């Protein structure tokens, strides 16, 4: 029988096999085509906005080479799908680096008032920001009409819409931001109350929008491996949340900003309350009550500011640049400042209104924790920079020294010590967010160029690093169904790849040189040390902030030691499987971003130089004019030179065109 079987097998015709070079050749060819197309669509040369064939060729060769190297380094056992996906991720990051590599002359021009207000050759699409808001919003509505019994269709639709939103945001990167606002769209929404749909982007909000469209698909992809109930509701919540977060970062009408601000609460409340842990209802209610209380204070301040503008001009308006013209007496400005500031401090969160955050993170599903830490907390830091420092600079300057001390003692040091004493690794990462966002707020209170740039950069860095940590915590929880540090030990022996990725994310969180966390914290500490707005304690605050870096190393290294090293003392840990291909694909973009930003931070800093200098100049000018403190009466200041031009009312459009030399009707 054996001889017959062998004979039969030998007599079968040989199956033709492809040569070993066929697949790699087609793989490289496909990458070349993809990268060249992306370069043609989104590329610009030397930071000037002008396309050049040599630049496009270089921009195509580098990403293809990077992709080929990555594909070759991935073990063949992972399969071509994983290798192809990782190679494409590496290629896209290489495109990002080659397209955004700053030109020295352009960086210098961006920081001056002579910087061009529009791209030199690439026209801005005024409706682009509306597309970024509308795509996820339309996707959320479309999800409602899909059958609940088709989870694969629901997941695929959600993910495709988010990827489409990510690629739709790519044209934002080709514009040199300078000091001005871009992609401005101002349309009357509710004319009777002077409410406009006004959205625009500058070098500060640019990276927060990019962070949102970058993190949300990753969190969504991760969630599809663990969320197995009410998929339709889950997909709807994710898309609605992404749309609201993008809208909050680009809204320049105070009422519109409030609408997006409140809209974010609903899907996150549902995500924690429905898909959270054992105490999910308590945590969801605590999250909602804290944030809603702050929101009501901000709404009262918004309504008073809009009412005051109407009293001064006879025409109601909630436009950011029009309300910013109002010079409030100091005793009035303080109340308005605190109405906004308390809302933002709760969202950050700052001590003592931070207690909702650890509970929300602990009970939220992994994707909810990623989005909450990576994006939603930045609403507080961004809101303080844009609205408190922009609309009420005198009050912001007066309270900065005291609030900086709160950020250091109640944020950086207290948050680090609380993280050190946690037994639950997820609560440890949650308290680390309190500490890291304390650095961000310290940089804003210091109000120097380097500290504010460091704060904006650290907003992005924290989103990437903490998002990676929460993702990795979710990986081990799916396997062991516990997050207690004492339940682990020796995992590096059975999960070497997972351990390496966790250590990298932890070192970035600590601020190891070469990772993204180092650059942001370094700029903040240096900017705090030289700040003249914090009084005579700026040096002490900078030193205490530096001590916070040591405490961060203490709690992160302690967690690493307990989780990964030493003997395996529990039988459950001996057979834990290492991180799988799907989880590697989710965490890979975050790992790459850690090193890209850490090694080339000017990719981000060069775009925010002009906007940060504008914020400081405007704030300094207002404070100088209000010395001694302005006590009234309320008056209207000239409109900022960097503000976008207001829309021409329809009734006055013909008159405006007739009186403007060279103007023509559109």
Phi, psi (degrees; rounded to nearest 5) at 263: -60, -30
Q: Is the pLDDT of residue 157 over 60?
A: yes
Residue 581's pLDDT band, with cuts at 50, 70 and 90, is: confident
* Per-residue pLDDT at 275: 87
Q: Could you tell me what percent of the chain has a pLDDT over 70?
A: 80
268-272, 399-403, 450-454, 647-651: least confident range: 647-651
CA distance 423 to 559: 9
Q: Which of 97-111, 270-284, 492-506 has the lowest mean pLDDT?
A: 97-111
DSSP 410: I
- Estimate the crossing angle of helix 231-250 against helix 205-223, to 10 degrees: 170
Q: Is the pLDDT of residue 566 over 90?
A: no
Q: How confident is the model at residue 137 (pLDDT cuts 50, 70, 90)?
A: very high
Quick: pLDDT tens for 392-406. 999 999 899 999 999
d(C-alpha 508, C-alpha 502), whole Å:
10
Q: What was the pLDDT predicted at 35?
A: 54
Is the Cα torsion angle 293, 297, 303, 306 positive or negative in sign?
negative
pLDDT of 360 > 60? The answer is yes
Query: Angle at which helices 425-446 and 393-406 pack, to 10 degrees?
Result: 140
Identify the band that residue 59 occupies on the pLDDT scale cut at 50, 70 and 90.
low
Tell me which of 207 and 7 has the higher pLDDT: 207
Pick the range with the lowest mean pLDDT from 113-117, 299-303, 467-471. 113-117
Q: Which two tokens stand for residue 428?
A: 């440890």
The per-residue pLDDT for range 278-312, each reduced to its tens digit, is 888 988 999 989 999 999 999 999 999 999 998 88
Mean pLDDT of 88-99: 70
pLDDT at 7 over 50: no
pLDDT for 544 equals: 93
Residues near 215 by beta carbon (within 8 Å), at least 6 away in sequence:
370, 371, 374, 375, 463, 464, 467
At residue 120, does pLDDT exceed 50?
Answer: no
Distance CA 167, CA 425 (A): 34
Whole-number mean pLDDT of the chain? Answer: 81
The region of weakest confidence among 38-42, 153-157, 391-395, 620-624 is 38-42
**Would you state the pLDDT for residue 179?**
87
Return the residue matching tokens 């990510």: 166
pTM over 0.85: no
What's the pLDDT tens digit per position in 422-451? 888 989 999 999 999 999 999 999 989 999
Q: Across residues 195-205, what is the average pLDDT?
A: 91
pLDDT digits (tens, 9 = 90+) for 484-495: 888 888 888 888
């Amino acid at each position: 029988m054996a001889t017959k079987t062998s004979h039969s097998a030998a007599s079968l015709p040989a199956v033709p096999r492809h040569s070993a070079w066929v697949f790699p050749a087609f793989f490289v060819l496909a990458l070349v085509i993809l990268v060249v197309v992306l370069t043609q669509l989104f590329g610009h040369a030397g930071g000037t906005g002008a396309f050049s064939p040599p630049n496009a060729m270089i921009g195509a060769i580098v990403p293809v080479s990077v992709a080929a190297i990555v594909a070759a380094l991935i073990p063949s056992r992972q399969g071509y799908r994983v290798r192809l996906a990782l190679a494409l991720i590496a290629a896209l990051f290489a495109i990002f680096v080659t397209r955004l590599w700053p030109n020295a002359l352009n960086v210098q021009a961006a920081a001056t008032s002579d910087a061009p207000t529009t791209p030199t050759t690439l026209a801005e699409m005024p409706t682009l920001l509306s597309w970024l808001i509308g795509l996820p919003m339309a996707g959320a509505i479309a999800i409602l009409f899909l059958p609940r019994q088709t989870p694969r269709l629901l997941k695929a639709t959600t993910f495709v819409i988010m990827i489409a939103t990510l690629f739709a945001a790519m044209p934002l990167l080709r514009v040199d931001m300078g000091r001005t606002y871009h992609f401005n769209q101002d349309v009357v929404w509710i004319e009777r109350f002077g409410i406009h749909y006004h959205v625009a982007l500058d070098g500060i909000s640019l990276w927060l929008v990019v962070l949102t469209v970058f993190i949300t698909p990753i969190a969504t992809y991760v969630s599809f491996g663990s969320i197995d109930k009410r998929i339709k509701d889950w997909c709807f919540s994710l898309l609605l949340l992404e749309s609201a977060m993008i809208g909050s970062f680009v809204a320049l009408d105070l009422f519109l900003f409030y609408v997006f601000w409140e809209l974010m609460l609903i899907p996150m409340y549902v995500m924690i309350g429905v898909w959270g842990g054992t105490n999910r209802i308590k945590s969801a209610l605590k999250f909602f009550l804290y944030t809603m209380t702050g929101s009501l204070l901000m709404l009262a301040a918004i309504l008073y500011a809009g009412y005051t503008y109407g009293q001064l001009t006879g025409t109601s308006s909630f436009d950011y640049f029009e309300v910013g013209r109002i010079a409030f007496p100091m005793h009035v400005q303080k109340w308005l400042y605190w109405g906004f500031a308390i809302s933002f401090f709760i969202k950050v969160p700052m001590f003592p209104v931070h207690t909702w955050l650890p509970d929300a993170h602990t009970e939220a599903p992994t994707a909810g924790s990623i989005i909450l830490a990576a994006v939603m907390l930045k609403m507080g830091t961004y809101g303080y920079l844009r609205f408190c420092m922009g609309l009420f600079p005198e009050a912001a300057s007066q309270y900065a020294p005291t609030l900086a001390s709160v950020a250091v003692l109640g944020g950086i040091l207290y948050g680090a010590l609380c993280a050190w004493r946690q037994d639950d690794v997820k609560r440890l990462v949650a308290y680390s967010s309190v500490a890291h966002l304390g650095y961000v707020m310290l940089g804003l209170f210091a109000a120097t160029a380097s500290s504010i740039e460091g704060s904006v950069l650290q907003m992005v860095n924290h989103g990437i690093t903490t998002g990676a940590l929460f993702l990795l915590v979710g990986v081990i929880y799916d396997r062991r169904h516990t997050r207690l540090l004492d339940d682990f030990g020796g995992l590096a022996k059975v999960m070497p790849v997972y351990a390496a990725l966790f250590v990298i994310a932890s070192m970035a969180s600590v601020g190891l040189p070469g990772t993204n966390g180092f650059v942001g914290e370094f700029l903040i500490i240096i900017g705090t040390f030289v700040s003249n707005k914090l009084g005579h304690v700026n040096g002490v605050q900078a030193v205490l902030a530096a001590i916070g870096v040591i405490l961060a190393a203490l709690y992160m290294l302690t967690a690493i030691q307990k989780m990964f090293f030493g003997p395996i003392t529990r039988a459950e840990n001996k057979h834990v499987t290492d991180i799988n291909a799907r989880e590697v694909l989710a965490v890979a973009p975050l790992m790459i971003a850690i090193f890209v930003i850490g090694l080339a931070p000017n990719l981000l800093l060069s775009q925010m130089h002009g906007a940060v200098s504008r914020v400081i100049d405007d704030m300094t000018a207002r404070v100088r004019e209000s010395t001694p403190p302005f006590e009234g009466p309320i008056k209207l200041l000239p409109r900022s030179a960097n503000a976008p031009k207001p829309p021409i009312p329809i009734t006055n459009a013909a008159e405006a065109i007739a009186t403007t030399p060279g103007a023509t009707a559109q």
